[in-house]
Structure 1
């Protein structure tokens, strides 16, 4: 059973991010499961910090992008979801390759949602764990 109130195709989900930071950083939605959203991001000059490793802020952009998309797919018609708070624990550094984030719901309520996003490297070692709190507001 799915948690989504509507489910776009992978192509539609990726098209929603045209001309945004998601596109600039090369983030791509790769799977919309019954209860999770998965996406990837390259670790390269766009996402490095000055020491040549994945920038923590880039990890947060990946986490919030996946969690926000998931939240909006899980909210009722006539409402939109916006980020209220995010935290991130950076566990391991990455110099190159691709990281993969998976967003899963912790709580889906009428006025708030909470999402956990795990980001891993190509060896499936945890790079970052993030928790995103979402406000559910009436669409204008």
Structure 2
């Protein structure tokens, strides 16, 4: 998954770099957060329900770091402010929470849709995973639900 994560981080950095003048401007913070969610986070989480379950903890941390960098820029916060405080004050969930929400929505949409071939897509079965998760595991294994 390292090439996938590297590509995702590279595209989100490119979007962040292009939007830097806007994100560092004096626009209202809610507007800057909305711009972040549209342009940067969408690149971080594109097709994430399919690949995020296969990522290691370090790779997920790298994705979260990219979000923290942009949120810190939006808030204009100093080095002494914790990342979780910035995210809480801006009302932005972690990348992992957002991917869980996307995954849950995708599987619910597939299960409730009119196409029987998509019903129960990737069912959760007792199977050996050899240390890695599968996409449906993101939905069933949520600690905060």
Question: Per the shorter chain, which TM-score range?
Answer: 0.3 to 0.5
TM, length-normalised to structure 1: 0.33
Structure 2 length normalisation: TM-score? 0.33
Q: Based on CA coordinates, which of the two structures has the bigger radius of gyration? A: 2
